[in-house]
Structure 1
Amino acid sequence: MTKKQAARNRPKFVVIGGGTGLPVILKSLKKQNADITAIVTVADDGGSSGVIRNYVNVVPPGDIRNVIVALSELPKINLDIFQYRFKSDDSFLAGHAIGNLIIAALSEMKSGIFSAVQELSEMMKVDGHIYPASNEPLVLHAEFTDGTQLAGESEITAAHKTIKRVWVEPTSWNAGQKPHAVQEAIDAILDADEIVLGPGSLFTSILPNLMISNIGDAVLKTKAEVVYICNIMTQKGETDHFTDSDHVAVLNRHLGQNFVDTVLVNTAKVPDNYMDYNRYDEYSTQVRSNFKGLRAQNCRVVSDNFLCLRDHGAFHDGDRVAQELFNVAGNPKACD
């Protein structure tokens, strides 16, 4: 078999999301030789990304930077330099990652984040495709069950209210424009074998992508299997007390129909007193399972021990998750 034939035979995964969970899955899919496209949220307003966004008219680069590193084939030393974050006593550059500054510079040079990421992907020897969910920075909006509304990811999560719905709008300097994804991202969704959502913050990492109308429409139209990797822990200010079924119900409600085909659910218990809730202060409790609720939404459930315990935190075991994603790709729900 030639290299071109091998490439054609690789299953096509489109992974949609943001945050720290996304690179873990991408690294493991890459190790198993998947054909990967990552569609990454552009609605982050915190940390170094938020500061850069406030001073420079560019999409916040943090999630994109981490995805580039996850799919890069450069030596570790190159990636360590790209990821290096200046110390807090470096007042001018305090807290900024070098990669964020490079992405911001390229965005200005290339007149947009999409072209910048494609250029940088070549420079960083990325195995796969990385598409920002939008070529323009977006602001996340939320309506809570008490009727109030807030704008901005950090403001929404800090409110610690029950979220009813979220949506995205352009920033003030792009007001009036309808958010949309580049055609390359839409084509990838429609041509995929499997769409992977998560793991990541439900309201602030996954849904901001799906609320871009042409992405949401493409996910509904695609013939690919749509797989949701349910979070292991609930998140304060977002999914307090949620079961796995509640997560899926929110996704389905936002797109107006039951579109999630398969859900990956962790069955291993996080040991009592293991979590360091001071260090991982965004987490609340372990997500409980409601298989009956998942079945009622026409979901196939793949349950297993996907838990990775390290540094007194609970994470997904990327290799185990990737293996199940490959299993699902070889046995789509429609063929059960």
Structure 2
Amino acid sequence: MPFAPHTFQFTVITGASGAGKSMVLRHLEDLGYFCADNLVPALLGSFADLISTQFNRIAVVMDLRGGAFFDELSGCLHTLKERGFQYQILFLEASDEVLVRRFSETRRRHPLQHEDMSLLESIQRERERLRDIREQAEIIINTSLMKAAELKQVISERLMGQAESQQGLVVNVTSFGYRYGIPMDADLTFDVRFLPNPYYNTDLRSFTGLERPVRDYVLGKQVTQEFIQRFFDFMAYLIPHYRQEGKSNLTVAIGCTGGRHRSVAITHELARVLRTKNYYVLEKHRDISKDEARYQAGRKQRAEELSLVALGGGTGLSTILRGFKHIFHDITAIVTVSDDGGSSGRLRRELGIIAPGDIRNCLTALADEEGLLTALFNYRFEQGNSELEGHSFGNLFLTAMAEVVGDFQSAIQESSKVLAIGGRVLPISLDNITLQAQMQDGQIIVGESSITCYGGQVEKLELKGDETRPLPEALEAIRKADALILGPGSLYTSTLPHLLFPEVVETLCKHSGPRIFICNVMSQPGETTDYSVCDYIETLYRHAGQRDWLDCVLVNTRQPDEALIQRYAEENSHVVSFDAERLENYPLKIVSGDFLSTGDYIRHDSEKLAGAIRQILQEWYFPQL
């Protein structure tokens, strides 16, 4: 299929013999044009039909070397335009004196010259025969006073546009591995083996420098940043001098040990920067596929194989886990443990354990089959006047298991086996932690359930307890995860408590994988009344004490049923507003769409969320697939 008209360039080069047409054609070929010399005009239509299926920049030279065929050029060009091909004519000329000198110096014969006609007469005869086509030319260049480098620069500016004027020089940037030898055609060679090597990080070894995990690792190092600044400044100084001297090709080779990680990342970044400066850049990675088997051992090939860590609590976390388990094979749920209401609160006060309720919900959500056993775990005693009233069987089971095996973390592991869950559940901490909120009206409210019941907006949230330490296994899971998910759920009592651990924030900020926040659909009465998506983001950043660490925010933009909206409004809960223009100010990706479930409640659909997360990870880790 031919290229679209706005991307297709067809240039007919003609003019005086000796004016520089061959030099221009060679220069355009260096710039990526498909070039043909001395084409017969009658073949122009067939030539354009064929070549335009593969190339979007074409240049042909047609002149009086074609003899009588050349006289058909105007008619053939008219036919070409009728068939939908747009073209431009570049006409080169020079003074008689200069043309005579050039032919004398090269000792070449003028196409029209014969025994009865001198060189000067041949030049003048040619000028007369070219008069009509010259009048049709869009670009006329007199090369009489031009050096080769100047002509190339003018061609780049006039033919390719001012925005591409730097393309008078083709910059070939190539990565390579010293293990396989230095490229023989390199004009400049740089050794980046002094940079930190991702090969020694087993989580990064299988990726290449074109993929985000390795690219972020290499480019994020301080030594790399300093090197890039100096290196790119040097290239910015050097390249224009090569171009001014008329060099049409410059090959820059960047090497590391194997040519897969560091050199690839630096080469790709150099090519990107040079393109922003309007240079014509050809990027090549010579050794990126060498010894593939050694690098690919154990490599994850699809988004479904990536490891996910979801941080949250309440019904929001268990909801998304139900969708995730059908797509992803490696899921870890890290759960808040500050709930002090209902069955969990009673067990905390009476036995001094961490809150089991949200952990139980996540265990049952990840269960292989949510059948009789999960129904048993979720069973809540309702007999009146009984000490068991209000307790969940699953909460009691976890509490009893902790007594049997000796600690709550082991109890979760053993319960996971009983339920045959497809993933892992970890508490964010094993310490007895209480939430304390300073409200906007100045009141200090202690306890998660009290904060929710108070109904006001929270100014600041804190953790209280003799010890407030995150679980080491939870921190390690965050470090090793391919992606981190926060939300949905109660912002102040399910999501933010994780960010009150400095160690968690530090690990989040250093993480190189996508950090995704799933924004709530509806506001929570009091706590997030009138919140927009931006307010959620700002609240996360404020409590973390760090900005701009999120990579992606997932937002539902489908309007719920009006009757449901009215019902929620009666309880002071409203649709979270989506301000697209304001969100553009954040350096993150907004993924919006229909993520609502059907039914009598306004909530996320777990399978839609899982599908959206899968797509985000696919684009992040496997953009070429």
Q: TM-score, normalised by structure 1?
A: 0.90
2:480 is the alignment partner of 1:185: no
Q: Which residue of 2 aligns with 1:77?
A: 372
1:298 aligned counterpart, secondary structure: coil
1:121 matched residue in structure 2: 416
- Report the AA paired with residue 366 of structure 2: L
Structure 2 distance, partners of 1:38, 1:276, is 34
**Structure 2 Cα separation of the partners of residues 261 and 282 of structure 1:** 33
Q: 1:294 is aligned with what amino acid?
A: L
Q: Which moved more, 1:108-117 or 1:56-65?
A: 108-117
Identity of aligned residues (%): 35
> 1:69, 1:281 → 2: CA distance?
32
Matched, 1:245 2:534: yes
How far did residue 148 of structure 1 move? Answer: 2.6
Partner of 1:269: 559
Pair 1:315-2:603 in alignment: yes
1:233 aligns with 2:528: no
C-alpha distance in structure 1 between counterparts of 2:583 and 2:402, whole Å? 42
**Residue 37 in structure 1 maps to residue 327 in structure 2:** no
- For 1:275 and 1:107, the matched residues in 2 are separated by 43
**Which of 92, 97, 110 is the matching residue for 2:405?**
110
> Are 1:289 and 2:578 an aligned pair?
yes
The structure 2 residue matched to 1:55, chosen from 350, 360, 363, is 350
Alignment of 1:142-181 (within 5 A): 142-170=437-465, 175=466, 177=467, 179-181=468-470
> Are 1:235 and 1:282, in contact at CA under 8 Å, matched by a contact in 2?
no
Residues 91-139 of structure 1: CA distance to partner in whole angstroms, max 9, x if unpaired?
Answer: 2211111000011112233343222111211222121111001012310
Whole-angstrom distance in 1 between the partners of 2:505 and 2:399: 27
Q: Which runs of 5+ in 1 are unaligned?
A: none
Which residue of 1 is the match for residue 181 of structure 2?
A: none
Query: Are residues 301 and 22 of structure 1, via their aligned partners in 2, closer, same or farther at CA, if it must alter by over 3 Å?
Result: same
> 3-state DSSP class of the match of 1:104?
helix
Shift of 1:70: 0.9
- The higher-RCO structure (CA 8 Å, 6+ apart) is 1
| Runs of 4+ residues over 4 Å off in structure 1 | 4-9, 275-278, 280-283
In structure 2, what is the Cα distance between the partners aligned to 1:44 and 1:206?
Answer: 12
How much does 1:6 deviate?
Answer: 9.1
Q: In the TM superposition, what are the counterparts of 1:128-147 in structure 2 within 5 Å?
A: 128-147=423-442
User: Which of 502, 507, 518 is the equivalent residue of 1:213?
Assistant: 502
- Over the aligned positions, Cα root-mean-square deviation in angstroms equals 2.4
Residue equivalent to 1:258: 548
Q: Is the 8 A contact 2:565 2:575 kept in 1?
A: no
| 8 Å CA contact 1:200, 1:206 repeated in 2 | yes
Report SS of the residue matched to 1:166: strand
- What's the offset of the Cα at 1:74? 4.6
Partners of 1:320 and 1:74 in 2: CA distance:
20
Q: Secondary structure at the match of 2:455?
A: coil
How far did residue 276 of structure 1 move? 7.9
Aligned to 2:320: 25
What CA distance in whole angstroms lies between the structure 2 residues aligned with 1:221 and 1:5?
24
In structure 2, the partner of 1:87 is 382
Aligned to 1:197: 486
Query: Does residue 614 of structure 2 align to residue 326 of structure 1?
Result: yes
Q: 1:283 to 1:36 in 2, by over 3 A?
A: farther
Could you tell me whether the CA contact under 8 Å between 1:190 and 1:224 is conserved in 2?
no
Amino acid of the structure 2 residue aligned with 1:272: E
Residues 184 and 159 of structure 1: CA distance in aligned 2, closer, same or farther (over 3 Å): same
Q: Secondary structure at the match of 1:268?
A: coil
TM-score norm. by structure 2 comes to 0.49
1:244/1:91 CA distance change after superposition, 3 Å: same
Gaps of 5+ in 2: 1-296
Q: Distance in 1 between matches of 2:369 and 2:479?
A: 30
Aligned match of 1:305 = 594
Partner SS state of residue 331, structure 1: helix
Superposed CA deviations along residues 243-297 of structure 1, whole A, max 9, x for unmatched, are 011001100111122211111110111222225858x987611111012333323
SS at structure 2 position matched to 1:195: strand
